[in-house]
Amino acid sequence: MKTKILLASVLVALVMSCSTEFSDDEFLTGPPESFDDLMAQGWSAFETGNYGIAVETFSAAAERKATLPEVYLGLGWSNIRDLNLENGRIYLGSAISFAFLDAVNGPQIILDSKCGLAGIALAEGNYDMAIDYADQVLSASPAYEFNHDSSVNPEALKRIRMTAEYYRGDYANAFQEVLDLGLTMDNVIRETPSHGSIASLAVVDAGFIPVAGDTLKVPWLKINAPSHGLEVDDFYVVSGISDGGNPSLTALVAKIAKQGGWKVKYLLAGGDILVTALSASEAALVSSINISSAMYMEGTGLVTRLDDSSLTGIAQISVYSGRQLVYINTVTALTDDGAIYSITDIDEGGTQFKVFGNPVFSNGQRVSVDYYHTDDFGLFLTELIDLVSTIE
């Protein structure tokens, strides 16, 4: 009933001229309380947690000036804190509708109202809308803060987004909010494209090399790299490679440069390592290539599939098996050419993701990846929901 009376007052005020709205004239019975006094009392009650009193006070203010947006902002936020979400939504909608009448404070009132609507949407399970409202506020004002409650700030909005992303199943986006909030998770590991120098490197053999008495079914390169610091499944990137003026090696050198190097398969005695060659025919030529230096690389992925046409620039990339993906920071070529690639899809809990960019990666190309992963995605989700449930 109070809402209907209030809306009727608004309509009367809109139809009649401003000179006929309720005022602070002396004909009022009893000592007059001005609109400004009531607004100050209302915000004071709100800031001290007396939300029921705040609602009553803002309602009295609305009876005096029913078209000023701030009074509906106060009513909206006070009702939210008093757990009357439907009233809160109605009043915040009115604040936005009337914001144009306050040229000075209107833009801020709109942001304050949308922030409150983000909280209502989250509480009601409308996660897409909660994210949308939070995005609108942070996009317009990255350092946003509600004047009447300093805890309503960018951190609070990111928490809304984190919770909404989790409940709609976008765990990578939820984890991004964890990072933005500076929170930590025990069950998440960051893999960065780190590297170290290999002092000297020489291809000492190529072709079919037996290991432990067995003849391998693929060509291998045997490389001497003293004090290399490598582990199996690390990747090492050659640099300073040259065809030595031999035109027959030019294409192979270019291919190695684009692919970036080779993955370590076996560690041998004396600093030797075995790595996969590019092909059987090329393996025999590799020892002729001049390789002056190399680096070992961690934090890589392998392009395992391109889209059907390769024209869109979308490539599927796989990381090491056993590393269950949580979030991808960046992807670049091993020899960074400055190209920017955007993540289009992540197989959360799996080992694959997709990127878009130009120049398009080649199928089988090794790339540099800065990413977060877990060894147990179930434990990761448990820890994430704990953050969502307990964060204040």
- The pLDDT tens digits for 254-288 are 877 766 667 788 888 777 888 776 676 777 777 77
Residue 271: what pLDDT? 77
**Distance from C-alpha of 22 to C-alpha of 42, rounded to nearest angstrom:** 18
pLDDT band at 4 (very low <50, low <70, confident <90, very high): very low
Residue 222: what pLDDT? 76
Among residues 240, 236, 241, 209, the alpha carbon closest in space to that of 225 is found at 236
What average pLDDT does the structure give for the chain?
81
Q: Where are the beta strands (DSSP E) in the chain?
A: 189-191, 195-198, 202-207, 220-224, 235-242, 261-267, 272-276, 290-297, 300-306, 314-318, 324-333, 342-346, 352-356, 366-374
Q: Above 60 in pLDDT, residue 6? A: no
Among residues 179, 168, 187, 139, the alpha carbon closest in space to that of 328 is found at 179
Q: What percent of the chain has pLDDT over 70?
A: 77
Q: Above 90 in pLDDT, residue 175? A: yes
Q: Above 80 in pLDDT, residue 75? A: yes
| Choice among 119-123, 218-222, 295-299, 307-311 with the minimum mean pLDDT | 307-311
Tokens of 75: 């009513």
Among residues 74, 80, 11, 82, the alpha carbon closest in space to that of 38 is found at 74
Residue 270: what pLDDT? 75
**Furthest-apart CA pair in the chain: how many Å?**
108
Residue 5: what pLDDT? 35
Q: Above 90 in pLDDT, residue 166? A: yes
**Which residues on adjacent β-strands are paired with residue 269?**
none
Q: Is 247 helix (H, G, I), strand (E, B) or coil?
A: helix
Classify residue 15 as exposed, middle or buried by CB count within 10 Å of its CB (0-12, 13-18, 19+): exposed
Residue 8: what pLDDT? 32
Selected residue with higher pLDDT from 287 and 107? 107
| Choice among 10-14, 78-82, 323-327, 340-344 with the minimum mean pLDDT | 10-14
Residue 233: what pLDDT? 72
**Which residues on adjacent β-strands are paired with residue 38?**
none
Residue 359: what pLDDT? 84
Residue 1: what pLDDT? 39
pLDDT digits (tens, 9 = 90+) for 330-370: 998 876 677 889 999 999 999 999 999 888 888 878 788 99
Residue 7: what pLDDT? 35
Cβ(291)–Cβ(241) below 8 Å: yes
Residue 331: what pLDDT? 92
Structure pTM?
0.69
Residue 313: what pLDDT? 75
Selected residue with higher pLDDT from 182 and 233? 182
Residue 207: what pLDDT? 59
**Distance from C-alpha of 48 to C-alpha of 41, rounded to nearest angstrom:** 11
Selected residue with higher pLDDT from 115 and 300? 115
